[in-house]
Structure 1
Amino acid sequence: MFKKYHALALLALAATAPGIQAQTYPAKPVKLVVGFAAGGPTDVVARAFADHASRALGQPFVVENKPGANTILAAAAVAAAPNDGYTLLFAATNHTMIPALYASQVKFDAQRSFRPVCSVATSPTVLVVGRSMPIKTLGQYIDKAKKEPGRVTAGSAGSGSSGHFATEIFARAQRIDLNHVPYKGAAPVITDLMGGQIDSSFATLGSVLPQIQSGKLAALAVGAPQRSPLLPGVPTFAEAGGGSYAADAWYGVLAPAGIPAPVAQALERTATEFASSEATVQKLRQLGLDTSATCGAAFATQLGREVTTYSQIAKDLNLQAN
């Protein structure tokens, strides 16, 4: 009889375990791993999210910067962590470029090794031109590129960078030939744009916002559904004749695959609240970022679509990181 009641008790406990887990999570501090050094946009958004989550869930969310190998070190550490929700990855768009560039060099799968929780912010791509290209509209830019194939230069932070992929996506959509110029980071791209050494760059808004506002660079179009409140006079690509072009950078939370559903749901609620907070909107807007929460299956679908797109472009261009 005792064994019978003991078995029933265990069954009842198992049935209520998810509910108990959801109520008790987090019961200890949560580590939020960032694959970039402190101070960059991913780190800034991660720390803002960590502060919100700490207050919302009652336990510290501690940011751990683990830069190196184009965020592979951070992703590998989280992929190998226990799937209990206490080690999370705060990632950005380049996470979906890992399969395109490092497929044979990593021991994790950028999709299957993780459960996408939510993206919380985006930074739209903006096409900027420097003093070597005194044009005023996106239409003029496209016309020049068509009349002079391979002559219009477009700088990026490196071969296989998000800016490189953004450049190639636009060139393919418009059937133009742009001369991609890879640099070692975003800063030298901006310097050479202002100095007239290169013509243009498909950059994240946050990385060039000060130069646009000061008039040192001219923005031709913003890759977002609506105009940016920070640049109300700059049209979207759709408004300027660039079709449905979009190559936004996203920032969001990924967890190790197999994380309990109730824990994922708690994190999704927290991320959604963070993205919709007026304080978050105001803080990130000053950095050229927009807030929005894409969670769960929708986020996973987005990541899968990006992996497919970037992998095809990398294959066509024979891109592979060393």
Structure 2
Amino acid sequence: MFESAKPLLRLALPALMALPVFYASQAVAQAYPDKPIKLVVPFAAGGTTDALGRIFAQAFSQSIGQSVVVENRPGAGSAFGIDIVAKSPADGYTLLWGSADGLAVLPAIRTNLPYNAEKDLTPITLFAAAPFVYALHPSIPAKSVADFVRYAKANPGKINYGSPGVGSVAHLATALLETRIGIKLTHVPYKGGSQAISDLISGQIEMTTTSPTVILPFVQAGSISAIAQTGQMRSPLLPNVPTMVEAGYGDFVVGSWFGLLGPANLPDGVTKALKETSERIKANPELQTQFKQVGADLMDARSIDFKAFIKDNIKMWKDVVSKAGIQVQTE
């Protein structure tokens, strides 16, 4: 009798040994979170990423009944803050409010990052996206994309455009415009977007790529013109500015995006709990309004593989970098 039972015992033993691990994982997930969560925003306070991260943190905190503390850790184009999260314990108490800048663009333009965006993080959920606006100084005689293309082709290299810096999403979104419509612009990198806007208003540069929120008051005042935006649909902040799709560039949809990530090897139960809560708070009317006021649209990420999404974005931006002849940074 006992001899005949041995094969069954051998088959059952691995499963029995795994039970403590399974139940321990379930217990951790059920108890989570039992202390405050730190949300790292890898940019300085006051910008779009920071504003959205704080709105998210407040709504998330209210939903789970636990504090979510925003910690700004700017530096190296967001690489510094991302690396902090990548090297944190995988317990769900240090999370990243990440964006396209550090998760897709930097990996496309830098080979010396201290983290691997595809391997060192656990993508939890894609939360929101924000389009860009191509803005011009009134000295450029263009009221539409077609006008701009004609003028730019007649004046190659004479239009100076400002960006928040080399390798920023705004920089590459303008490089994409150049390669897509066959024009040549001159890049003027700044250490932030605000100085680019100031110089655009004063006429030191002729163009910049920025967010609807930033550009809105200047468009309303007539000091800057907006010829197109890059979202799938028009931003409600700029209902009279057409999209690139409407301008005849059917698949020209690009912008920044924002999501929640943790360190690699985050427990499945914790990841699931964070994703479910993130999706649930998107139904919060106050959060929806606040995100729209900052110029971002919430995304239904329930069917989106965030990990694959990041991989595809890195590939896309690497292609833009190659076609635009942008030098990849190796040091």
* TM-superposed deviation, 1:155: 1.8
Deviations 1:76-120 (A, max 9, x none): 11111111111111112111222233322x332122101111222
In the other structure, the counterpart of 2:3 is none
Please state if 1:169 is matched with 2:180: no
CA distance in 1, matches of 2:229, 2:106: 26
1:136 alignment partner, SS class: coil
In the other structure, the counterpart of 1:118 is 125
* TM-superposed deviation, 1:293: 4.1
In the other structure, the counterpart of 1:283 is 290
Q: Which of 76, 83, 99 is the equivalent residue of 2:83?
A: 76
Unaligned segments of structure 1, at least 5 residues:
none
1:111 alignment partner, SS class: coil
CA distance in 2, matches of 1:265, 1:78: 19
CA distance in 1, matches of 2:204, 2:312: 35
Deviations 1:4-38 (A, max 9, x none): 9xx99875443333333322111211111111122
Measured on the aligned residues, the alpha-carbon RMSD in Å equals 2.3
Whether the 8 Å CA contact 1:123–1:206 is kept in 2: the answer is no
* TM-superposed deviation, 1:179: 2.1
Q: Which of 311, 317, 321 is the equivalent residue of 2:326?
A: 317
- The 1:21/1:189 distance shift into structure 2, 3 A limit, reads same
* TM-superposed deviation, 1:200: 1.6
CA distance in 1, matches of 2:73, 2:165: 20
Q: Which moved more, 1:294-303 or 1:267-276?
A: 294-303
CA distance in 1, matches of 2:18, 2:297: 46
Q: Which moved more, 1:291-300 or 1:88-97?
A: 291-300
In the other structure, the counterpart of 2:73 is 66
In the other structure, the counterpart of 2:4 is none
* TM-superposed deviation, 1:189: 1.3
Q: Which of 269, 272, 291 is the equivalent residue of 2:276?
A: 269
Whether the 8 Å CA contact 1:124–1:205 is kept in 2: the answer is yes
CA distance in 1, matches of 2:128, 2:15: 46
Deviations 1:173-214 (A, max 9, x none): 112222222222211211121122222222222322221233
CA distance in 2, matches of 1:301, 1:9: 34
Q: Which moved more, 1:153-162 or 1:293-302?
A: 293-302
1:219 alignment partner, SS class: strand
TM-score w.r.t. the length of structure 1 is: 0.90
Please identify the structure whose Cα radius of gyration is greater: 2
- The 1:278/1:100 distance shift into structure 2, 3 A limit, reads same
In the other structure, the counterpart of 1:301 is 308
CA distance in 2, matches of 1:53, 1:270: 7
Unaligned segments of structure 2, at least 5 residues:
1-8
Percent same amino acid at aligned positions? Answer: 35
Q: Which of 110, 120, 126 is the equivalent residue of 1:102?
A: 110
